[in-house]
């Protein structure tokens, strides 16, 4: 089955409504991090405090997501996502009210953390739904699941392009608070729709009812660290971009410029499905890590928004391929009944990395400017390459161990 035919078949199986809702429901999380950074920084004049609040949101989301994923593995996604969507929307509204009311820094950071704790990780949970959705396809299921993960990687990256862009438009047209209120409304509407969609029931009906099997393995830990470093790229790059945009007198442009990173990544994510199947996910992960380490270096040379745009566009072209490889590896090597937990754990690592990158880059930017913030991105990508190089043999072995039992059962 060709990649184009696979994409067409996926969307036929899932339905247009599901595809649209699952995409729109993940935008509020992408909007909330930059929205919080701009809201708090604008109100207080401190990038450090803005980065701390955005980081608190990301860390709390990272801490809570695996527990929500484990609960979804046990009782299904419907009730978990519904409660999270409504609670997260309410917390974002409260955050805007507190900042506008001049609340204490501690209260602002705590409320940002509460918002992050409540917000659902729609992207990872959507990945879990593709296995039952594609179950009727029989021998083509493995191929369709792989293509679905390519689509999900592109959708995630598109959300982190469109989300910041919506924040940028909201800041320019209304205010940073208005942008976060838009995120809250979208979460309440589309998060609820994602929770109540019929595909949520199929995960429970077609999956293994109780979570069993080992979760934390050396391979999964490698994948978690890889995602943490990618999260650091997002956080540090977003902070450096915000500093440049503010210096240029157009802080709202930060979201639009950072969106370019997601555009390049989304295009590359869709194209990943066209790579030959013989190139395994571990090799794709290595190639993407090498590209990221090289393509991040020009960030140290930029001195304005115009120069930054092509740099982040090219950098983004290597982000989605790496993340797709990471999630594909996890889906293959983790026990089937623990997939939701594993997916949300990887997403949590990304959020934690965002917090580390944003917080570190924010403090460095306060003292040394945007170049110091971008240096955090470069450092993270060099570490990414070293990690993936060191783990290649372990990753290949894990994939072989998965294939062998399948082959034995087929015989």
Dump pLDDT digits (tens) for 381-409.
999 999 999 998 888 887 776 555 444 44
How far from the centroid of its chain's Cα atoms is residue 147's Cα?
Answer: 18
197 and 244 assigned to the same domain: no
Residue 147 located in a structural domain: yes
* One domain, residues 290 and 197: no
Task: Quick: pLDDT tens for 167-199.
Answer: 878 887 888 888 899 999 999 999 999 999 887
C-alpha 319/C-alpha 304 separation (Å) is 23
Q: How many domains does the chain have?
A: 2
Residues 6 or more apart in contact with residue 193 via CB below 8 angstroms: 21, 25
Name the residue range of residue 317's domain.
Answer: 213-410
Q: Are residues 105 and 217 in the same domain?
A: no
Asked which of 147, 172, 203 is the last residue of a domain, the reply is 203
Q: What is the pLDDT of residues 12-60, one digit of tens each?
A: 888 888 889 999 999 998 888 888 888 888 887 777 788 788 878 888 8
pLDDT for 214: 60
Are residues 7 and 77 both part of a single domain? yes
316 domain residue, yes or no = yes
Q: Which pLDDT belongs to residue 299?
A: 93
CATH assignment at residue 177:
1.20.1250.20
CA distances from 364 to 190, 249, 267, 358, 372 (A): 37, 20, 32, 10, 6
Task: Choose one of 146, 175, 203: the last residue of a domain.
Answer: 203
Residue 208 lies in a domain: no
Is residue 85 assigned to a domain?
Answer: yes
Residue 191 shares a structural domain with residue 250: no
Domain annotation covers residue 328: yes
197, 301: one domain: no
Query: What pLDDT score does 408 carry?
Result: 42
What pLDDT sits at residue 405? 47
* 119 assigned to some structural domain: yes
The last residue of one of the domains, among 168, 203, 238, is: 203
Same domain, residue pair 189 and 225: no
Same-domain pairing of 153 and 281? no
Q: Are residues 221 and 196 in the same domain?
A: no
Residues 38 and 108 grouped into a single domain: yes
Split at pLDDT 50, 70, 90, the class of 213 is low
Same domain? For 228 and 180 the reply is no
Whether 342 maps to a domain, the answer reads yes
The mean of the pLDDT values for the chain is 83
The verdict on residue 344 lying in a domain is yes
pLDDT tens per residue across span 339-378: 778 888 888 888 788 878 988 998 898 888 889 999 999 9
Band of residue 216 on the pLDDT scale cut at 50, 70, 90: confident
Residues 237 and 296 in one domain: yes
């Amino acid at each position: 089955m060709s990649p184009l035919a696979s994409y067409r078949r996926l969307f036929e199986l899932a339905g247009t409504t599901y595809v649209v809702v699952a995409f729109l429901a993940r935008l509020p999380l992408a909007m909330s991090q930059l929205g919080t950074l701009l809201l708090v920084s604008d109100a207080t004049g401190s990038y450090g405090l803005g980065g701390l609040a955005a980081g608190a949101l990301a860390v709390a989301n990272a801490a809570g997501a695996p527990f929500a994923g484990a609960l979804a593995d046990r009782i299904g996604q419907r009730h978990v996502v519904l409660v999270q969507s409504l609670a997260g929307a309410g917390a974002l509204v409260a955050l805007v009210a507190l900042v506008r009311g001049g609340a204490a820094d501690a209260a602002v950071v705590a409320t940002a953390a509460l918002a992050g704790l409540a917000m659902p990780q729609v992207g990872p949970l959507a990945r879990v739904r593709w296995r039952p959705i594609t179950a009727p396809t029989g021998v083509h299921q493995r191929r369709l699941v792989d293509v679905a993960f390519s689509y999900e990687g592109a959708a995630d990256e598109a959300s982190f392009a469109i989300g910041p862009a919506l924040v940028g438009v909201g800041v320019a047209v209304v205010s940073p608070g208005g942008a976060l209120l838009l995120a809250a409304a979208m979460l309440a509407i589309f998060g609820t729709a994602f929770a109540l969609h019929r595909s949520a029931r199929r995960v429970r009906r077609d999956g293994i009812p109780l979570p069993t099997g080992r979760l934390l393995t050396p391979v999964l830990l490698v994948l978690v660290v890889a995602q943490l470093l990618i999260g650091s790229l997002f956080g540090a790059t977003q902070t450096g971009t915000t500093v440049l945009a503010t210096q240029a007198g157009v802080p709202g442009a930060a979201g639009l410029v950072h969106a370019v990173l997601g555009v390049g990544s989304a295009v590359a994510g869709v194209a990943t499905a066209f790579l030959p199947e013989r190139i395994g996910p571990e090799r794709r992960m290595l190639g993407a890590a090498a590209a990221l380490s090289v393509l991040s270096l020009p960030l140290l040379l930029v001195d304005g928004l115009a120069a930054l745009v092509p740099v982040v566009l090219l950098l983004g072209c290597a982000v989605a391929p790496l993340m797709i490889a990471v999630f594909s590896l996890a889906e293959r090597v983790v026990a089937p009944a623990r997939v939701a937990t594993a997916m949300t754990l990887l997403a949590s690592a990304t959020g934690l990395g965002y917090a580390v990158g944003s917080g570190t880059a924010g403090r460095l930017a306060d003292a040394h400017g945007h170049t110091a913030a971008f240096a955090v991105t470069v450092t993270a990508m060099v570490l990414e390459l070293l990690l993936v190089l060191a783990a290649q043999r372990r990753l290949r072995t894990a994939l072989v161990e998965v294939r062998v039992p399948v082959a034995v059962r087929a015989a």
